[in-house]
């Protein structure tokens, strides 16, 4: 049941119309691993600077996240991101990005990490993702996230990386840009033709959709009256999804469907407070409650329409 994530660990400064935080634990690997930790044990491959302290380590250890492969560069500084969201939280502005030690990140996997059964290649440069992929030849399922920056600047390398993974987890704008297809169903077919067996498309407030060679599954988002801070929602979704899968022996479509629900549940909690604050103090009861809500929100009885032969006559004469 081992799950590995390669990505960023960062300090985030976030401003929203509802408040701000100057420095909180962020980055794709942090959001992913804390979310996944509710379902399985996770190993993190990332890099931090000397400013990464006891408080941050304590968050990982409290969630039983294995940081043996968390590289520390003592005289460097950890990746810092500073962003601001507008009242419409879909509109985000990056105010400052300091890659710091992350600029030279060369993922190093221990022997134990190389034996991971499931691997999530967080949103990093596609060459690095592919280098990691090559080190986990025995992995049962390798998933990848990416972003518009890599589609713009390293498209060929990105496509090569997609060719060697099993699952792509991206948002709908990225799926359209990556495939140059405005229609999402066509976009999915094109991306799947490159190799992966499964594409999961995140659609924010509209939920998520899964495409396989001959299957389709879609879910709405959990309905929330207040979204506070969307930072990390995508990685939290992926963490819940991959974490749930890692807790399963059989990675079939039924498990993938439930994994998408658990991913959505985790993301729905993530956006309710700053950074990882809400997710950190979650309970399994709360998680299962929202999973059960999803069933309630989407269930309908499969009763086909039966034409009443007599209705036409009786109706017109009424």
Q: How many residues bind its own copies (CB under 8 A)?
A: 62
Say whether residue 177 binds its own copies (CB under 8 A): no
Say whether residue 257 binds its own copies (CB under 8 A): yes
Instruction: Please state the closest distance from residue 175 (CB atom) to its own copies, in A.
Output: 13
* Closest of 184, 189, 146 to residue 165, by C-alpha: 146
| Stretch of 11-19, 101-109, 231-239, 258-266 contacting its own copies, by CB under 8 A | 258-266
Instruction: Please state the closest distance from residue 29 (CB atom) to its own copies, in A.
Output: 18
Say whether residue 302 binds its own copies (CB under 8 A): yes
Select the residue interacting with its own copies from 205, 272, 273, 277 (CB under 8 A).
205
Say whether residue 59 binds its own copies (CB under 8 A): no
| Stretch of 6-14, 23-31, 140-148, 282-290 contacting its own copies, by CB under 8 A | 282-290
Say whether residue 307 binds its own copies (CB under 8 A): yes
Say whether residue 75 binds its own copies (CB under 8 A): no
Q: How far apart are CA 16 and CA 84, in angstroms?
A: 6
Instruction: Kindly tell me the sign of the dihedral angle through the C-alpha atoms of 286, 287, 291, 294.
Output: positive
Say whether residue 18 binds its own copies (CB under 8 A): no
Q: How far apart are CA 182 and CA 191, in angstroms?
A: 13
Instruction: Please state the closest distance from residue 81 (CB atom) to its own copies, in A.
Output: 25
Select the residue interacting with its own copies from 72, 95, 103, 112 (CB under 8 A).
112
Number of neighbouring beta carbons within 10 Å of residue 252: 9
| Cβ–Cβ < 8 Å for 122, 28 | yes
Query: Could you say which residues in the range 216-235 bind its own copies, by CB under 8 A?
Result: 216-220, 223-227
Q: Who contacts 122 (Cβ-Cβ below 8 Å, separation ≥6)?
A: 5, 6, 7, 8, 28, 29, 32, 145, 235, 238
Query: Could you say which residues in the range 130-169 bind its own copies, by CB under 8 A?
Result: none
Nearer to its own copies, 244 or 274 (CB): 244
Instruction: Please state the closest distance from residue 204 (CB atom) to its own copies, in A.
Output: 10
Using CB under 8 A as the criterion, which residues of the chain lie in contact with its own copies when the complex forms?
Answer: 1-2, 38-41, 64, 66, 87-88, 112, 115, 182-186, 189, 203, 205-207, 209, 216-220, 223-227, 244, 247, 254, 257-258, 261-262, 284, 287-288, 291-292, 295, 297-305, 307-308, 311-312, 315-316, 318
């Amino acid at each position: 049941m081992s799950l590995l994530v390669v990505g960023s660990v960062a300090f985030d400064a976030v401003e929203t119309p509802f408040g701000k935080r100057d420095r909180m634990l962020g980055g794709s690997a942090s959001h992913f691993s804390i979310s996944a930790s509710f379902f399985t044990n996770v190993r993190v491959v990332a890099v931090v600077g000397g400013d990464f302290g006891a408080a941050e380590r304590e968050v990982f250890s409290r969630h039983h996240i294995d940081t043996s492969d968390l590289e520390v560069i003592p005289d460097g500084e950890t990746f810092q991101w500073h962003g601001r969201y507008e009242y419409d939280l879909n509109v985000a502005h990056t105010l400052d990005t300091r890659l710091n030690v992350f600029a030279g990140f060369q993922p190093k996997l221990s022997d134990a990490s190389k034996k991971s059964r499931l691997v999530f290649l967080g949103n990093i440069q596609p060459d690095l993702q592919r280098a990691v992929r090559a080190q986990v030849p025995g992995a049962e399922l390798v998933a990848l996230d990416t972003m518009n920056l890599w589609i713009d600047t390293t498209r060929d390398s990105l496509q090569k990386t997609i060719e060697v993974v099993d699952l792509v987890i991206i948002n709908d704008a990225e799926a359209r840009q990556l495939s140059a297809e405005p229609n999402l169903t066509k976009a999915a077919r094109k991306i799947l033709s490159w190799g992966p067996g499964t594409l999961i498309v995140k659609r924010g407030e509209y939920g998520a959709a899964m495409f396989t060679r001959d299957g389709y599954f879609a879910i709405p988002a959990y309905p929330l009256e207040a979204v506070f801070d969307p930072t990390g929602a995508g990685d939290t979704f992926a963490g819940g999804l991959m974490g749930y899968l890692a807790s399963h022996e059989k990675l079939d479509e039924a498990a993938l469907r439930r994994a998408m629900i658990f991913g959505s549940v985790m993301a729905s909690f993530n956006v309710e407070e700053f950074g990882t604050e809400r997710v950190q103090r979650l309970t399994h009861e709360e998680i299962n409650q929202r999973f059960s809500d999803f069933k309630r929100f989407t269930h309908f009885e499969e009763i086909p329409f039966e034409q009443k032969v007599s209705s036409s006559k009786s109706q017109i004469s009424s």
